[in-house]
Structure 1
Amino acid sequence: MDHYIDLKLLPDPEFAATQLMSALVSKLHRGLHDLRRDDVGISFPDVETARHHLGSRLRLHGNREALSQLLALNWLTGMRDHVQLSELAAVPAQVRYRQVSRVQVDSNPERLRRRLIKRHGISEQEARERIPDSAAKRCNLPFVNLRSNGTGQAFALFIRHGAIVETAKAGTFNGYGLSSTATIPWF
């Protein structure tokens, strides 16, 4: 993780920044999937000032080779008019580190009921009694709205920026550039 690229969303009168960020993360996911690499991480440098959303900047972290391969894929097709892409740059010398991870929340009572019916063969009424609408969990983390390539279902990808630490932790990143073990440079 010695290099990075910043992608800054440009203001657009037709699309909200949150909508553009969701589209950008979706395209990145496809690019990372096609590359089949687990050494590219992401962060959102403006997350703390953005108030309940991820801000207007997406930062890609990795080594020079991994980031160059990602850029060569041309995964930004359709987004180029909406983002300003920085040059590939070396991470500054004095940085701290942070884990950026996915948080999964079972927030949809209807989906939980369908799962209960399918797994336990109970009636819809019994499932509704076991899982009332009030069982929905709330999550105050920022998120992007995505659609599953496999099922076509829409879902919220909640993203947590962990505590800032002094030392890096090695690990791998998932197809969204998130990790429950590895850290990215934070600057």
Structure 2
Amino acid sequence: MDHYLDIRLEPDPEFPAPTLMGALVSKLHRALVELGANDIGISLPEHERYPPLGATLRLHGSVSRLQALMEIQWLKGMRDHVTLDGIKPVPADVTHRVVRRRQYKTNPERLRRRRMRRHNESYEEAARRIPDAVERQVTTPYVVVRSRSSGQAFALFIEHGDCQDAPVTGVFSTYGLSKEATVPWF
């Protein structure tokens, strides 16, 4: 993770930034699947200053892998909506953090249906065991993406872990997220 590439969303009067970010992450997902890449990570460097997501998607990896990604023209259809800064080396003396997918089980209706299937219970019994009070508000930033394998749209919650001094190596998903591997944070 010695290089990075910033992809910045341009303001658009027709599409809000979260919609464009979702489309961008969906396109990146398809490209990472096509490349079979598990060595490219992402971060949202502006998510704390400009909630919920900011306007910049930062890709992290080696210069050769980032070049290979950009050679497959995965940004087709998004070029009018983004600006690329080019591949650059990561600055010296940066911190690192895990950027991972966070999944929540917050919808009581979905939890009840699941319980009904798994325990062969009636709706009334499941509702008694899972009250409406289990629902909670989630503040983690997310993008709405479409899965390449299932075609289903879903909310992909993206959580930035605590900053740490040393990098941790590991693999990344086809969304550029990891449970343990870190990306440079600056």
| TM-score bin (small chain) | over 0.9
Q: 1:116 maps to which residue?
A: 115
Determine the structure 2 residue equivalent to 1:136: 135
Structure 2 equivalent of residue 182 of structure 1: 181
Deviation of the 1:57 alpha carbon: 0.2
1:159 alignment partner in structure 2:
158
Paired residue type of 2:141:
P
Two-structure CA RMSD over aligned residues (Å): 1.4
Report Cα offsets for 1:58-106 as digits up to 9, x if no partner.
0000001211111112111211111101211111122121111111101
Aligned length: 186
Counterpart of 2:20 in structure 1 is: 20
Residue 129 (structure 1) shift: 2.1
* Aligned twin of 1:97: 96
Q: Name the residue aligned to 1:63.
A: 62
The CA deviation at 1:152 is: 4.1
Give the deviation of 1:134 after TM superposition: 2.6
In structure 1, what is the Cα distance between the partners aligned to 2:168 and 2:47? 21
Counterpart contact for 2:172–2:178, Cα < 8 Å: yes
Amino acid at match of 1:9: L
Match of 2:84 in 1: 85
1:105 is paired with a residue of what secondary structure?
A: coil
Structure 1: which 5+ runs fail to align? none
- 1:41 alignment counterpart: 41
* Structure 2, unaligned runs of 5 or more: none
Cα offset, 1:147, TM superposition: 3.0
Partner of 2:29: 29
C-alpha contact (below 8 Å) 2:168/2:180 kept by paired residues: yes
Q: Report the Cα distance in structure 2 between the residues aligned to 1:59 and 1:162, rounded to whole angstroms.
A: 16
Change (3 A) 1:30 1:55: same
Whether the 8 Å contact between 1:96 and 1:165 is mirrored in structure 2 is yes
Identity of aligned residues (%): 53
- Write out per-residue CA displacement over residues 9-66 of structure 1, whole angstroms, 9 at most, x where no aligned residue: 0000000001111111111111111111111000111111013x11000000000121
Look up the equivalent residue of 1:6 and give its one-letter code.
D
1:150 CA displacement: 4.0
Question: How far 1:3 sits from its partner (Å)?
Answer: 0.9
Q: Secondary structure, in 3 states, of the residue corresponding to 2:162?
A: strand
Distance 1:118 1:149, change over 3 A: farther
**Contact preservation (8 Å) 1:105, 1:137:** no
In 2, Cα distance between the equivalents of 1:122 and 1:148?
A: 31
Alpha-carbon separation, structure 1, partners of 2:30 and 2:109: 28
